[in-house]
Amino acid sequence: MASNQLVKDPFNVIITGVGGQGNVMASRILSNMLVQKGYFVTIGETFGASQRGGSVMSHIRISSHSTWSPQVPKGRAHIVVTLEPIEAIRVLANYGNEEVKVLTNTRPIYPAGVIAGESAYPAIEEIEATLKKLSHGVWLIDATEEAVKLGNPILGNIIMIGALSALGDLPVNRDDFNAVIRRTLPGDKVADNLKAFDMGAALLKN
Amino acid sequence: MEEKVLNRGQQKVRSNVLDAGLCTGCGACINLCPYYQSYRGKTAVLFPCTIDEGRCFAYCPKIEVDLEELSQRLFGKPYDGSPLGSCQSVLMSKATDIIKGSKPQAGGTVSALMYYALKKGFIDGAVLMDRQGLLPVPHFVGDANDVLACSQSKYTAAPALAEVNQAVKDGYKNIGMVGTPCQVLSAAKMRMNPLMKEDFIDPFGLIIGLFCTWAIDYRLFEPFVIKKIDIDQIEKIDIPPPPAEILQIFGKNGEKLEIPLSEIRELVPKGCSYCVDMTSEFSDLSVGVMEGRPDMNTLIIRTDRARRLVYGAQEEGYLQVSEMPEENLEHLMWAAGNKKRKGLIKACDEGLINATEETNSYLKIRQDILNKLIA
Amino acid sequence: MSHLTDTKKDASYLVMGNEAIVRGAIEAGVNVASGYPGTPSSEIIESLSRVASERNLYVEWSVNEKVALEVAAAASFAQLRSLCAMKQNGVNVASDFLLHLVGSGTRGGFVLVTCDDPGALSSVNEGESRYFSRLMEIPLLEPGNFQEAKDMTKWAFELSEELKQIVVVRSVTRMSHASGNIRYGELPDIERKAEFKYSGFIFDPEEGVVISAPVDWKHQQQQAKVKRAMEIFENCPFNTYEGPDKPELLLITSSACYLYSKEAVNVLGIEDRVGILKLGTTWPLPPKLLAKNLSRTQKIMIVEEVLPFLEENVKILAAEMAAEIGVKTFYGKKDGTIPMTNELNPDLVISGLSKILGMEYVPVSAEYDQLAKLSAFVGAPARDQVFCPGCPHRASFLSIHNALELDGRKGFVCGDIGCYSMAVRPTGFETLKTLHSMGSGMGVASGFGKLGQFGMDQPILAVCGDSTFYHAVIPALVNAVHNKANITLVVLDNSGTAMTGFQPHPGLDYNVMGDEVPCIDVAKICSAIGARVEITDPFDLKGTREMLNNLIEDSNGVKVLIMRKACALSPQRKNKKDFEMRVDETICLGEECGCNRFCTRIFRCPGLVWNEKKKKAEIDQVICAGCGVCADICPQHAIVKEEVA
């Protein structure tokens, strides 16, 4: 059992994005980082049909003593990490509260209705203003852009995990990440993932 | 918001023309955008377009055709409702045998003139009608010799203007066209610069109109004929002049099929019954089969450029032209006037003329002229 | 090596519910596993296939769920342990065989895992499989957390072997697709030999023939097994009670709802007022256990998904035991305390509890709630499901849509389940007009195709996927040909069971274990049945559309068009662009007459975006899959494709 370093127990993290952004993998890696430290973690996620361009959401429940429900109750998210900016707003409508912290990638993935001109996508400044009103703190990171620089946009999810670790609210660090990816990823992917993790941590600190 | 949707140009084409059964498949709305396509004689809307009044709306010969404006702009005089429209002269004509390999139907005037126009550079290409089985297929030709392959009569509607639109897209600026009255009407609308573009150029160098009393709906014609003859083996289709009252189909192996016109009239699209134009009044010149003289054409010259073309062709031996007997002219005027009257009455009865509501306006015509015509 | 075969006892892993089920089966020494892919069940067979060689298993994706159940049954008859996994719809398909199976009984431990999908998170219904247990009179287990998912699955094999009857383990999406950390048990090293014994006395369950007759006698045997299960369930450790001895309210629940209930009680801080009876064995219910717990209080609340299965069964028992336990007040689905459609969550349970106990619960301030809801309404435009960038279905449905519009006779398409179900939405140009179970597009079309005598002159099309073709379309195709229905079937052949994650099917030359296997050719089957068969590449828009019109106009019975192009996520296409795409801004017409944003407004590939400032289309290079189709739909040829070397 873990020595309880959680600010809240259960501590609730929600990771969201759009199908194909590596949402599921990000929540898996983060959860494994916590499990290897002895925490109980429950991940609730929807995928399957949702992967076809729909919103994808993982609820991560972290506790030092028991298994929690795979769905966070309304208004009880502590940290929201989103791989797509408007998804953060969507999540806060159900799970937000005055104390929540929001970490979001700024790269939009336009919904089909927006591309078709049926609905409007807000400017990133508007999104930021909205998120600020609805949270205790907001961190915006252009993770996709940075990931493209690393050679693969999918690494955006790892950049976000790096940033989340650097935020300091969760008892996880680079060593935990390193241990998990060495166990779960093919060897040739480890270096790039570490680079992405470090980049995320650095971006948060700036 | 709802109002706005109703006013969408494509919406109107769809509800007032296509769904109302007025479309004759002229092709004026085809090859302009990805939203319209012609298939087996019918025009289909593939997807909704949200542009208020685009070219489909502007070119359609069944939407807001202002006869007065057309007449003023094309002939410089008011529309007076005369049966044959604006004419400089009405003649009879016949192609000579100067063009080798030519075997046109009736007098051959259309083929001879198009051949001549292309050869002499009056136009830089022409949209003509080819035939695949029963289906007329518009065909753009740039070479005079290709005219000959398209020299036969077709009795089903075809999207001729689709090919014109394509030719315009491809950069042609002096296009010749042979068309039925509805097709010629679309062409006339196009020539008016309906969207008021600053860099507008009239793309037509010559429009030859055909006489037409009705066309046959291909979608009805094909299943009707297919039971009787192999449509891939059709050599020629003809309607001999009255009193025969038959449509003849000749097979490549010498078969001959005769269908009473009473059966054929069942296959005429609804849109034809609103038509007020038998002789393609807004063309440069119009050509028809001459009553009682299956080897000759009636030829109506309407514009100066048509006159120059006809006399050039005559001088250089492509065409024989002579005066039209008074008796024939009278009969032609009677037939054309009759079609005009019937079409106007039907359209009037259904509120399609000078409609105040924008949604239902097929023709605009001066009220006093209208009153005179339907009296 | 997979963590699923870790031999270290008490090893702890974070596993998905489906993996927990798999580990349970491995700990039980399962020998044979079969199933048909269906979310949320697919990972069970997939994970088992990955450890197949290591654990000497036979694992297969069967052609459909009925055959899967038959394949697994054979192993049980031969004294092996077997598992069969499917989603809720699959149980309907398998149910005919299931009814016969429960009559004949089983030998080796036989577990049917059904994964229901309350809320239809990835289904087109939220059908219940639990009722089959009552209908077919077989034991039903429902794990209430991840550890139980493993432990109960293992126990289910033992129970099945003891009862000589198949045992159902029912999971739900929030269990199967959720993850939690569990502790592993030991792995067995018993080798079982397969032998089917049939020479014994006809009534001998071990060595006689395996049949459901004589029916009356067999049925009595079957009901005796249910009775025995009931006795076992009385003392089953998976049925637990937590809370005060005499609570104000007794909450009875099972499955994922147990976790929601626990959370709800915790959030409201009413652990001292509410007791939770978590049932792991939900059919047959153990009466003594129920009597004991129902006696604790007068108010009973039942929390379950979706229909009031548990509620009804508890109420029947309560009525039977009324003299002993007294009259109770029940709260649940029937009185509206808990909704009878959709999945549940902690908040719905909180709301039910607050109502019964007269409590007020405000999760966030009304001010925050309002602002957050308004912000989402204004600032988070809805995200409709769409075909992936590069998906062949977008091109296929564009051609089908266009062919029907050109034909102009109000033709329509009947469909079924797969990614292509989304063709009811704008992403598939709203082409699909009926949508039902696997293969039913063809069956329904076959029926439409016979309505000509009543004046129907609309062209009729059906679509199915390649995997669906084998699953349930073949009988409908036979029916249509034999009965001379005039219809066109489009097989959207994308080389795999794409929707559920690319499981192999009989049309491929490899199976789930990676063996080389003969592939069954769709075209040859259709030809042999007597249909006219054509094949096109859906990315050839012109050719495909022309072929479609040609087939629709051919009034000689059944025509089949196979549109063949691998899924954009398939191993052969994923992350491989055929073309580099770009938009030539100088010729893009944008909103003007002649285009009106055809690519972004109508074609709607996620790889295309609209630049509002420039009024031009653009390629999103991160999303674009490089299929090149948009170059062919651009009326202006402004979308340019360059072959990737």
Splitting chain C (645 residues) into consecutive groups of 10 residues, what average pLDDT does each group show? 87 95 98 96 96 96 98 98 97 98 98 96 93 98 98 98 98 96 92 95 93 95 98 98 98 98 98 98 98 98 98 98 96 97 97 97 96 96 91 97 97 95 95 97 98 96 97 98 97 88 90 93 97 98 98 96 94 90 97 96 95 95 95 96 91
Q: Could you tell me the two tokens for C7?
A: 């031999």
Is A50 close to C375, i.e. CB distance below 8 A? Answer: no
pLDDT band (50, 70, 90) for residue B357: low
A103 at interface of C, judged by CB pairs closer than 8 A: no
The answer to whether the CB atoms of A45 and C383 lie below 8 A apart is: no
Mutate to test the interface with C, among B46, B50, B222 (most CBs of C within 10 A): B46
User: What is the predicted ipTM?
Assistant: 0.95
Question: Is the pLDDT assigned to residue B199 strictly greater than 90?
Answer: no
Cross-chain Cβ contact A112/C363 below 8 Å: no
**Predicted pLDDT at B5:** 42
In C, which residues are within 8 Å of B50 by CB distance? 596, 601
> CB C406 to CB B44 under 8 A?
yes
Residue owning tokens 């279905």: C393
Sort out which chain C residues have CB atoms less than 8 A from A96's CB and list them. Answer: 364, 368, 372
Q: How close is the nearest chain C Cα to the Cα of A154, in Å?
A: 9
* pLDDT of B302: 97
- Residue B3 pLDDT > 80: no
Q: Which residue of C lies nearest to B54 if distances are taken between CA atoms?
A: C593
Chain A residues with beta carbon closer than 8 angstroms to that of C174: 44, 70-71
Distance (Å, whole) CA C568 – CA C499: 11
- Spell out which residues of chain C touch residue B51, defining contact as CB-CB under 8 Å: 591-593, 596
Q: How far apart are CA A141 and CA A104, in angstroms?
A: 6
Give the integer Cα–Cα distance in Å for B282 and B26. 15
- For A11-205, CATH number out of 3.10.105.10, 3.40.50.300, 3.40.920.10, 3.30.360.10 equals 3.40.920.10
**How far is it, in rounded angstroms, from Cα B335 to Cα A35?**
94
| Contact assessment for residue C72 and residue C34, using Cβ atoms and an 8 Å cutoff | yes
Rounded CA separation B207/A78 (Å) = 75
Find chain A residues with C-beta within 8 A of C368's C-beta.
75, 96-98, 134
Per-residue pLDDT for B208 more than 70?
yes
Confidence at B198, pLDDT banded by 50, 70, 90: confident
Has residue B2 got a pLDDT over 50?
A: no
- In this complex, the residue of C122, C263, C604 whose CB is nearest that of residue A116 is C604
pLDDT in tens, chain A (206 residues): 556 689 999 999 999 999 888 899 999 999 999 999 999 999 998 764 545 678 889 999 999 999 999 999 999 999 999 999 999 999 999 999 999 999 999 999 999 999 999 999 999 999 999 999 999 999 999 999 999 999 999 999 999 999 999 999 999 999 999 999 999 899 999 999 999 999 999 999 87
Q: Tokens 């289709």 map to which residue?
A: B237
- pLDDT value of position B359: 56
At the topology level, CATH places domain C392-564 in Rossmann fold (3.40.50)
Say which CATH class C579-643 falls into.
alpha beta
Which residues in C lie closer than 8 A to residue B45 (C-beta atoms)?
405
**What value does the mean pLDDT take over residues B48-60?**
91
Inform me whether the C-beta atom of residue A100 falls under 8 Å from chain C C-beta atoms.
no
One-character DSSP codes across C175-198: HHS-EEEEE--PPP-PPP------
Please name the residue of chain C whose CA is at the shortest distance from the CA of residue A48: C122
Pick from C549, C596, C635: CB nearest B51: C596
Summarize chain A as % helix, strand, coil (round to 5).
Answer: 45, 20, 35
Distance from CA of A72 to the nearest CA of C (A): 8
- End-to-end, the C-alpha distance of chain C in Å comes to 37
- For chain C, the chains sharing at least 3 beta-carbon pairs closer than 8 angstroms are A, B
For chain A positions 145-164, those within 8 Å of chain C (CB to CB) are: 148, 153
Whole-number Å distance between alpha carbons of B63 and C462: 38
Between CA C538 and CA C493 the distance in angstroms is 10
Sequence-ordered alpha helix ranges (H) in C109-169:
130-136, 146-163
For the stretch C237-268, pLDDT in tens is 999 999 999 999 999 999 999 999 999 999 99
- Report the pLDDT value the prediction gives residue A2, as an integer from 0 to 100: 56
**CA distances (Å), origin C347, targets A69, B205, C36, C116, C342:** 11, 75, 34, 21, 13
CATH number of C3-234: 3.40.50.970
Write down the residue that tokens 């010259």 correspond to. B301
Name which of B101-115, B266-280, C118-132 the model is least confident about: B101-115
Residue A109 in contact with partner chain C when CB distance is under 8 A: yes
How far is B36 from B161, CA to CA, in rounded Å?
A: 13
| Residue A123 CB-half CA count within 13 A | 5
The pLDDT value given to residue C320: 97
Lowest mean pLDDT among B76-90, B213-227, C397-411: B213-227
User: What confidence score (pLDDT) does residue B133 get?
Assistant: 80
Binding-site residues on chain B for chain C (CB distance < 8 A):
32-35, 37, 39-40, 42, 44-47, 49-51, 54-55, 195, 219
Hey, what amino acid is at B188? Answer: A
Please report, as a single letter, which amino acid is at residue C416.
D
CB contact under 8 A, B39 and C407: yes
- The answer as to CATH 3.40.50.1820 being correct for domain C240-357 is no
Q: Do domains C3-234 and C579-643 have the same CATH topology?
A: no
The domain ranges of chain C are: 3-234, 240-357, 392-564, 579-643
SS3 C505: coil
Concatenate the DSSP letters of all residues of B201-251 into one string: ---EEEEEEE--S--B-HHHHHHHHHTTS-GGGEEEEE-PPTT--EEEEEE
Which chain B residues are closer than 8 Å to C402 by Cβ?
Answer: 37, 46
Question: In C, which residues are within 8 Å of B32 by CB distance?
Answer: 593-594
**C405 closest CB neighbour out of B44, B195, B219:** B44
Q: pLDDT band at residue B145, thresholds of 50, 70 and 90?
A: confident
Domain boundaries, chain A: 11-205
If we measure between CA atoms, which residue out of C437, C426, C435 comes closest to residue C385?
A: C426
| Full strand arrangement of the beta sheet holding B135-141 | B135-141, B125-132, B175-179, B204-210, B285-290, B293-301, B89-95, B319-323
The Cβ-side half-sphere exposure at A157, using a 13 Å CA radius, reads: 18
User: What's the distance, Cα to Cα, between the start and end of chain A in Å?
Assistant: 35
Residue type for position C329: T
